[in-house]
Amino acid sequence: MEMSELQSVVQAIGDLPPMPIVAVKVLEMLQKPDTTAEKLAKTISSDQAVSARVLKIANSSFYSLRRKVTTLEHAIVILGEKTLKSLVLASSLKGINKSFGLMEKMLWEDSLGCAIGSRMVAVWFKSADPEEAFVAGLFRHIGKMVLNNLDPEKFRKVMEAVYNGEGSEEEMEALFFPYGHAEVGEAVLTKWNFSEDLTLVARYHNDISGIDPVEQPERHRLAATVNFADAMLRRLGIGQRQPDGSIELSTLPSARTLGVEPDQAEQLLEEFRCFFEKERSTFLG
């Protein structure tokens, strides 16, 4: 996103949220060569909610560690910096919401569900770096959080109109807001200095044809990974008002990109459903 585009979104929407403080500190530290696990652990533990969630997730079946991790320092050493980064981002995202009612709870479940689903898809189809897929899935709807913070009443109307079949998300957002969640999401991640891969996946997660598969094959596969995970959530009703059984996963453009066979799609969906039910409280708690 060019600076001029970013400025026009900021002018229309108002201030975009800052990245959560603990995440900023951790990302800065990870760029310094002299950062130790001890220093990182100290920084993360300054936010109790985040540090508790990082430890909880580290001990979940998500990472299937052979023995229980009891300290942050130990978790950092075992999981590595890349995983730590995605866990800190996931654990601090909740703090972006101004309030935390039913809508925020749905958006939070939707974000973490897509992060988990995207990582699973990336592992299954070797379509992207699993941790990058996790972060891309986590932030694909950050724009929705921003629109909901900006005007909860209008955002609720958008969601209800879509739910009632009055039009697509894009059409309904255009009725109520100067920019849709995809553009706002791209603007937020640009402001946070995320990689272009992540900012463009936020922009094109719904329509992966916006990223050229020939010119940018890896980026296109990352977008397809997130798009497929998004469809799994909608099919199961995770972070949604209700499941949408009409979604045929294996016929999606993202399934074609990833080479997903119909039986693989159903197998992965079932594995994801079981995992999410089992670990739901770990991630959302």
pLDDT of residue 3: 79
Q: Let me know if 48 is exposed, middle or buried by CB neighbors in 10 A (0-12, 13-18, 19+).
A: exposed
Lookup: tokens for 30: 């990870």
Mean pLDDT value of segment 100-125? 95
Residue of higher predicted confidence among 5 and 41: 41
In one-letter notation, the amino acid at residue 255 is A
pLDDT of 7 strictly over 90: no
Model pLDDT for residues 214-270, shown as the tens digit of each residue: 999 999 999 999 999 999 999 999 999 999 999 999 999 999 999 999 999 999 999
Model pLDDT for residues 184-217, shown as the tens digit of each residue: 999 999 999 999 999 999 999 999 999 999 999 9
For residues 166 and 200, is the Cβ–Cβ distance under 8 A?
Answer: no
Angle (CA) 230-236-242 rounded to 5° is 105
Domains of the chain from N-terminus onward: 3-284 (1.10.3210.10)
Q: Which residues of 6-22 are buried (b: 16+ CB within 10 A; e: fewer)?
A: beebeeebeebbebbeb
Model pLDDT for residues 62-99, shown as the tens digit of each residue: 888 888 999 999 999 988 988 999 999 998 898 888 88
> What span, in angstroms and rounded, lies between the C-alpha atoms of 74 and 80?
10
Arithmetic mean of pLDDT over the chain: 93
Lookup: tokens for 138: 């986590």
pLDDT of residue 29: 95
pLDDT of residue 62: 86
Residue of higher predicted confidence among 282 and 277: 277
pLDDT of residue 89: 93
Model pLDDT for residues 30-58, shown as the tens digit of each residue: 999 999 999 999 999 999 988 998 899 88
pLDDT of 285 strictly over 80: no
Mean pLDDT value of segment 115-143? 97
For residues 147 and 155, is the Cβ–Cβ distance under 8 A?
Answer: yes
> What span, in angstroms and rounded, lies between the C-alpha atoms of 47 and 66?
27
Residue of 19, 47, 50, 24 lying closest to 285 (CA atoms): 50
Model pLDDT for residues 117-128, shown as the tens digit of each residue: 999 999 999 999
> What span, in angstroms and rounded, lies between the C-alpha atoms of 95 and 98?
8
> What span, in angstroms and rounded, lies between the C-alpha atoms of 98 and 155?
14
- Collect contacts of 156-160 with beta carbons under 8 A, ≥24 apart: 156/103, 159/103
pLDDT of residue 5: 84
pLDDT of residue 2: 80
In one-letter notation, the amino acid at residue 180 is G
